[in-house]
Amino acid sequence: MAAAPLLGDSAAGKIKDDHLIDCNDKGSYYVNARVNNISLSDYLNQSDPTSTLYKLLPKDVLFQEASPGSYVSMIQETRFRCGGIAIGVQFSHMAMDGVAVASFLKTWAKVANNSVEAAHVLPYFDAVSVFPHYDEFPREAMLSSNKLSMRLGKVVTKRFMFEPSSLELLKAKATSSSVENPTRVEVVSALLCKSMKGIRVSEENKPMALIVSVNLRTRANPPFPECSMGNIVWPTTAILPNENEMKSLVESIRGTIRKIDSEYVKNIQGRGGFVKLSNQMSKELGNGKSLEHVACTSWCNFGLYDVDFGWGKPLWVSCVGAEGNSKTPYFNSIVLMDAKMEKGIEAWVYMDEDELSLMEKDEDLLAYASINASPLKHGL
């Protein structure tokens, strides 16, 4: 394939241990598959294609930590009966976060199209010099931080589709003197948390904390390149107010995210910066048992609907559901994706089955969102 040089240069290698990747230049794990009994449009028009999306990935083991010897990048090309193609990708979070994966895919598409621009886009591996590894920091603390944000459990997945018109109504509802121009990500995050707070069956009635993954690249001064490899994100925690109203929730979410500014990023750089981060993490760990955590990450504005390998732009860009997996670390979590329709959002929610079934009946939520709508129904 035309993209082979890029795959070999920036995503080759295997995981050696918890901290090291063996860059052996042997390329990525690449699989060709065929689906002979259904067309791509029929597949996408199923009542719920979410539950079988994992079959379009090169490995059926999802949501588990990569083990030594695992590939850093794995790709499956699936051709349907009609000639339509699905590209399923899995990358180790040790090497790439969502922004890095998006940059990789966009550059790969440019290479496949023999774009001159692609020759000037190279992966940037200098993040380790800006955020150096700190050997004295105990690995157990990092593992504990992961447990703080997401607990293991058997979950199901639902997609909530928000059309642009609904998002404008939500923004109007959430506007306040403190937040005069709420974003679509802020209002969707707030509405989903509002629903989760309203249907929780926990008898402990813990306050809810929303853990938001913040991209540090755009908040640095000067900004780090989009093609910076690594996990250049940081989870910040918004303790949501007891008042379960959109305005209050949006104010809390925005205030927490905006604390991660250029000065914050500057302070956590260098050897001393990791110590500051670990101290902050310890504070959050200390309060962890008294909070109900929900994790939220946004893949909006990544430009994934512009990825064109020469066959045209994608009909659908999606996550993968948790069905078929007995345990996943995505318990009580939200992933926000751009919808095919401009300025729309797909919210992927991973929750306990009983709680999510209650959420599906939330009239306030359903006034703005549709559930598991066909990807071909919107924006085509």
Selecting among 42, 308, 352, 362, the annotated active-site residue is 308
Element counts in the chain: helices (H) and strands (E): 12, 12
The CA-based diameter of the chain, rounded to the nearest angstrom, is 60
Q: Is 93 a catalytic residue?
A: yes
Phi, psi of 218 (to 5 degrees): -75, -15
Cα–Cα distance, 275 to 350 (Å, whole number): 32
Active site residue 19: no
Angstrom distance (rounded) from CA 187 to CA 89: 29
Annotated catalytic residue: which of 93, 126, 354, 364?
93
Q: Rounded to whole angstroms, what are the CA distances from 193 to 210, 242, 246, 293?
A: 8, 12, 9, 10
**How many CA atoms lie within 13 Å of 276's alpha carbon, on the beta-carbon side?**
13
Q: Which DSSP helix (H) or strand (E) runs through 10?
A: helix 4-10
CA separation for the pair 57, 106 (Å, rounded): 19
Beta bridge mates, 34: 79
| DSSP 8-state assignment for residue 288 | G
- Say whether 213 sits in a helix, a strand or coil: strand
Residues 6+ apart with CB under 8 A from 76: 30, 31, 32, 33, 56, 57, 58, 87, 88, 89
Cis peptide before 375 (omega within 30 of 0): no
First CA to last CA across the chain, in angstroms? 29
Dist. CA 40–CA 43, nearest whole Å: 5
What is the C-alpha separation between 214 and 220, in angstroms, rounded?
12
Contact status, residue 272 vs residue 285, Cβ threshold 8 Å:
no
Give the catalytic positions in this structure.
93, 308
